[in-house]
Structure 1
Amino acid sequence: MMQRRLLIQALAAGATAPTLAWAQGAALNYPVKPVHLINPFSAGGALDQLARMLGQHLSEKLGQPVVVENKTGASGNIGAEFVARAAPDGYTLVMASSATHGIAPSMYGARLPFDALKDFTSISATVVQKNVLVLNAAVPVRNVQELIALAKAQPGKLSFGSSGAGTSQHLSGELFKSLAKVDMLHVPYKGSALAMQDLIGGQLTMMFTDIPTALPHIRTNKLRALGLTAAQASPALPDVQPLAQQGLPDFDLKAWYGVMGPAKMPAAVVTRLNASIVEFLSNPRNREKLLGMGMEPLAIDAPQSATFISDELKKWTEVVKTTGASV
């Protein structure tokens, strides 16, 4: 009986060995064809800009084209689910964010078609992104306290746009409402660019948006910047104070972006991708450019990235609970 069991085990090992050897060899030769980097949000926003910068760098380092594709919808969840269901071979990756892998699990609950941690492999948490509160230039307020006073005088009348329900922009507005004790209307869009058009056009009062999207319009005085969502200042907007220093001391929110793949990716592929991304983030010229866009580079390895994303998931879950935000 013992001999039979040993024989079965040996045959099973022999059958598995070629498959393992093939997988290991494929990982060592990676990549041998184009890599698809999915951006689950629309073109033109900060995440899209970062994705294309990374895509160009990775194409050069990996020796294969890295194609950035926008698969939008459901506040990024459609693109994220697409990658979660893909083969874990390193040829389909996603630009993850605090929306898809921080806020969505608590906002959507059982309706979310993927597990933000178990269905993905963390490759690199690339940057932390500060958002800025901007107003249409015609709104007659000059600081945060005047804005709060106006909102209290017109409950439910002021509106704030976002790149979608369940995004960091949405949660920033909900936290503002909660801490300032005001009532405002949330208007979700399919991406920052569309919301920005209506904000400039006067259809919206304000927006908590990423700095790269807002910066050109702030410089041309089409928008007025009132405060940063993070508790620290930004080199990109040195004259704009954090909301935490303008009467809302508990206001400290930062979005984040990272690169993830399907669960169970080969370790060798993850290591190579992470090394290439860290090289991009550590380059002084790239760091300067990212900081100028309001992005703080995170040049950390894959295990550190997994810990970072897990911790951020817990933080955003608390924000959802505090604000009572829902979709």
Structure 2
Amino acid sequence: MLGPLTRRGFVCAAALLAGFGLVATKADAAPFPSQPIKLVVGFPPGGSNDVVARIIAPAFSEVMGVPVVVDNRPGANATIGTEFVARSAPDGYTITLGSASPLAISPFTYPNIPYDTLKDFVGITTVAMTPELVAINPKVEAKTLQELVALGKKRQLTVSSSGNGGLPHLAIELFKTTSGADVLHVPYKGAGPAIVDTVGGHVDAIIVDIAGLLPLVKEGKLRALAVTADQRSPILPDVPTTADAGLPKLIAVNWFGIMAPAKTPPDVVQKLYEGLVKAVNTPKVKEQLLNAGMEPMLMSSPAAFQTFLVSELDRWGAIAKASNARSD
């Protein structure tokens, strides 16, 4: 049997250990966020997704009070990096900045895609957007989109994109079906080489994000004909929309959204949402996005973003099936 002193010592030791346990439990349940947040981008540095991530990350870090580290994991039209986040712990510390191609289009154009956008993720909010831009080599005999369509009914038009199976590819398929022009899609391994060949006159036209074409349009090396949106872009206010130009169904907007793994706690999702809204609404971030050819785009709530995702999957799924567009 334990003596009085021994018994008292045992009780004190037990209480002390329990106290340590209580401290450990509280430490384990530290308020979110208490460590760096990894923002995964499925494309290499320099592309639109990467540009948006690096504009937002510093302001997001300041709002959240922890480092926000951009982690590029490129490959297979961002499906590699997107899958990485889908399989990550649902604790809010590994999230992805995705866009229309990997989240709403690749599920229909890539065989055996390793994730389900709606089942494997929870949407937080969109942060930016950019319409696609229809631009041509200045030597092509067309000053407007209507004139380009008319030319495409006389001869075949070659239109370049950043590759098979992404948003620019489907925008070209939309252009073909809505205009009735004879259009040949010419895919490249990225926007860079597609732009180079369009400027060089090897193809007639190009459809990609505004951001990649903006400097060349300003330099006169490409002629901008229309933005694929229902409202003019503040970045190119003198360029008509496809709706203005008589093709109201040719709408292709590339949006950039933040996603977390499914089963991320709702309170963590809400904190991430509130932090992103504050970050994107800062004047510096707005200015940087506009200078990069983007426009701020925020959802009213994570639930609103989830509803938006469903509508985008429905729309682009139908277009992909109708055109039989496939990835490389």
8 Å CA contact retained: 1:278, 1:300: no
Give the corresponding residue for 2:150: 149
**1:31 aligned onto 2:30:** no
Deviations 1:260-279 (A, max 9, x none): 12111123322221111101
Q: Note closer, same or farther for the CA distance 1:226–1:189 as it changes in structure 2 (3 Å cut).
A: same
CA distance in 2, matches of 1:280, 1:31: 18
Alignment-derived partner of residue 191 in structure 1: 190
Distance 1:226 1:269, change over 3 A: same
| Aligned residue in 2 for 1:77 | 79
1:122 paired residue number: 123
CA distance in 2, matches of 1:64, 1:205: 48
Q: Which residue of 2 aligns with 1:93?
A: 95
Question: What SS does structure 2 have at the residue aligned with 1:75?
Answer: coil
Alignment correspondent of 1:164: 163
Tell me the equivalent position of 2:11: none
Query: Residue 160 of structure 2 contacts residue 194 of structure 2 at CA under 8 Å; is this kept in 1?
Result: yes
1 CA distance for matches of 2:201 and 2:45? 22
The secondary structure found in structure 2 opposite 1:240 is coil
Distance apart, 1:220 and its partner CA: 0.6
- CA distance in 2: counterparts of 1:208 and 1:294, whole angstroms: 16
1:104 aligns with 2:106: yes
Query: Displacement, 1:174?
Result: 0.7
Q: Deviations over 1:267-298 (max 9, x none)?
A: 33222211111012223443354356242421
| Contact 2:59–2:285 under 8 Å retained in 1 | no
Q: Aligned partners of 2:150 and 2:261: how far apart in 1?
A: 47
Contact 1:235 1:294 (C-alpha < 8 Å) held by counterparts:
no
In 2, are the aligned partners of 1:75 and 1:190 still within 8 Å (CA)? Answer: no
Q: Please identify the structure whose Cα radius of gyration is greater.
A: 2
- TM-score, with length taken from structure 1: 0.84
CA deviation map 1:53-89 (0-9, x unaligned): 1112122223333222322222221221121122222
1:245 maps to 2:257: no
- Preserved CA contact (<8 Å) 2:280 2:296: no
User: 1 CA distance for matches of 2:120 and 2:25?
Assistant: 23
Change over 3 Å in CA distance of 1:105–1:207 after alignment to 2: same
Partner Cα separation in structure 2 for residue 325 and residue 113 of structure 1: 19
Of stretches 316-325 and 226-235 in structure 1, the one that deviates more from structure 2 is 316-325
Q: Does the Cα contact within 8 Å between 1:121 and 1:260 map onto a contact in 2?
A: yes
- Alignment correspondent of 1:262: 261
Post-superposition Cα deviations, 1:230-249, rounded to whole Å, max 9, x if no partner, equal 12111111111112222323
Return the match for 1:40 from 42, 50, 75.
42
Q: CA deviation at 1:194?
A: 3.6
Mind listing any 5+ residue stretches in structure 2 that lack a counterpart? 1-20
Which one-letter code corresponds to 2:88 in the other structure? A
Residues in 1 aligned to 2:232 and 2:126: alpha-carbon distance in whole angstroms:
21
Deviates more, 1:132-141 or 1:115-124: 132-141
SS of 2:123's partner is strand
Q: In the superposition, relative to structure 1, how do residues 211 and 23 fare at CA in structure 2: closer, same or farther (>3 Å)?
A: farther
8 Å contact 1:38–1:94 — kept in the other structure?
yes
Whether the 8 Å CA contact 2:56–2:279 is kept in 1: the answer is: yes
Aligned ranges for residues 36-75 of structure 1 at < 5 Å? Answer: 36-75=38-77
Q: TM-score, normalised by structure 2?
A: 0.84
**What is aligned with 2:281?**
282
**Which residue does the alignment assign to 1:325?**
325
Q: For the Cα contact (< 8 Å) 1:133–1:207, is it kept in 2? A: yes
Aligned residue pair count: 304
Q: 1:30 to 1:135 in 2, by over 3 A?
A: same
CA distance in 2, matches of 1:137, 1:42: 30
Coordinate RMSD, CA, aligned? 2.5
**Corresponding position of 1:10:** none
Gaps of 5+ in 1: 1-17
Alpha-carbon distance change, 42 to 60 in structure 1, aligned in 2, over 3 angstroms? same
1:271 alignment partner AA: Q
State the secondary structure of the residue aligned to 1:172.
Answer: helix
Partner amino acid, structure 2, of 1:106: F
| Mapped partners of 1:94, 1:201: distance in 2 | 36
Which is richer in helix?
1
Residues in 1 aligned to 2:248 and 2:307: alpha-carbon distance in whole angstroms? 27
Q: Comparing 75-84 with 185-194, which one deviates more in the overlay?
A: 185-194
Moved more, 196-205 or 93-102: 196-205
Residue of structure 2 in register with 1:272 after alignment = 271
3-state SS, counterpart of residue 231 of structure 2 = coil
2: CA distance between counterparts of 1:325 and 1:272?
Answer: 38
Report what 2:228 is aligned to.
229
